[in-house]
Chains A and B, each alone.
Chain A
């Protein structure tokens, strides 16, 4: 503990080392996002993420969006452990046959009003896996999708900006 405090005092704020261009992008998008979420979602937008057969890169970037540099949570977006607490469902992966039921059950467990976001190239149309015998492909044929975040995988900044553009439109 003493070590941590000493380090904190000596090192100051660690995030100051990062690329200033990135910081200003994140900050400006984030501030706007925050005011929109304050207004529309009474201060917080809760997202439940479901992997329906992704390779793990999208998950890694969604986790990165929660790291101290991007820190989505400070803008009012939190990733929750249960679909019962969620406003939105974030789907990654091309929907394998084995995950079809789990995806539907997760959606059904969410309280109304709710909406679905897809993240990465796979859930749009199956991506590289669309011709497979074991893949359903597009999530929009299964659930009502309002927002798609393209990329393989989309970077954390892409995710933040896509959410912002989406909330501005509505």
Chain B
């Protein structure tokens, strides 16, 4: 039995900011969900099931908050699933929801991911107590900086690459009204002069801490036919996981990421991602992860990713735009960040990305990762249905 094609017909985001003190957690998720429903011209009654994701519950101090959010999500009397796969969760959540449609369990599913980081302190929420983790590994930056240094040493990339990524993403964010950071006076010099946090990661090369939610309505062919706006079609989707630490682990280009991308490309019939994919929303929480993931995703050969960044290929008007929305570097409600990547990819192929639209984008990749570079989720969406 072949799978039912999955279409994205509704997308909604909150305006992402450091602290949404004007809304409760329920108000935050409802804002994104309602916008997704409006985009799809559907009502709560049209939704068969809800799949919600977020990163660790400690970020808000609510254990399994989906129980409390059942009412706000219109899920009463419906199936409600809660996914948690670390930083990749926003992407994984969308894929779990997509499977419900692909398996023909449900026709129309609301999927949503959120984080309200202002409710607690995410850095300490991420810093495990001794003896589970060595001291001084405060926050994610402390974990990832050594792997960035390994990449720099391995690839011979010039030290300026990270700043170029940050400068690009923060300028892209100026074209995205939902982005958290709108730094109108950003310059490359300011990025390079910003304080060093975790060598080589500077303050301006680091993701912010955001409150925000993102929602999508996924549906089958019949649902897509009724949609008022062009749908985005899922051409491939996959998740891969590997252990946190083991002898021989390649933190610079993890095997799980390469396998995940290969699976997505196989499903979509993509043999040359650099030529066949028109843009990518990649989970880049620290600037240097753009060139690292470009290689991991097969857009560049090992050691060559930074050259695409340096040559401007990943700029909004480049040959392979990356993080047109401003990316995680401009907006990071952690649990939602992966779903924002997936949703922004879908916005592009729907032609609905507004000022940061890539003209003629037909196939765009959405990417998320989490944990110790060990959980990956990705999808490729297209303007046309699969096998058409």
Q: Are A and B subunits of one complex?
A: no
